[in-house]
Amino acid sequence: MTDSQQFNDVLVIAEAGVNHNGDLETAKKLVEVAAKAGADYVKFQTFSAETLATAEATQAEYQRRSNPVGAVNQLEMLRKLELSNEEHVELIGHSEKNGIRFLSTGFDVGSLDLLFSLGVRLFKIPSGELTNYPYLIHVASLQCPVILLSLIHI
């Protein structure tokens, strides 16, 4: 996407999230499936486990039930799902090779900076950060297009 491109067309974003379960080869397969399906972007999640959770933070019930990485708390689970800087670089290259654009939701300022340094120029705001003023100011300072979704439950 160029800086001058407008968002007048529908963009299809394949949500890969953390469904790779911390495995780079699975993440690459998610890229390939998204590309074959015709998506414009494949979106992952970028975060620093230590920034988001502590060892005292327990998992939600649904996380304990599914628990594909065998974690005992939030911090351990997030550590196992976290992608390294090198894995991000590899996934971006793999996305380009497969003709699909890479996107990742950065959950903290450091992750936003990493993505920006890797050439990501579109940012999706995590719903949990919609009221995080310092985070939003940092995203705005990057001067890139933003995807912001807000669901209202009535």
Burial class (CB in 10 A: 0-12, 13-18, 19+), 62: exposed
pLDDT digits (tens, 9 = 90+) for 101-152: 999 999 999 999 999 999 999 999 998 899 999 999 999 999 999 998 876 6
Q: If you count DSSP H runs as helices and E runs as strands, how many of each does the chain have, helices first?
A: 7, 5
Is the pTM for the entire model greater than 0.75?
A: yes
To 5 degrees, how large is the angle CA 43–CA 48–CA 52? 100
Residue 12 in contact with residue 40, Cβ under 8 Å? yes
State which CATH number among 2.40.50.180, 3.90.550.60, 3.40.50.300, 3.20.20.70 fits the domain covering 13-47+82-147: 3.20.20.70
Strands (E), the chain: 13-17, 41-46, 101-106, 123-124, 146-147
pLDDT score of 34 more than 80: yes
Report pLDDT for 3: 43
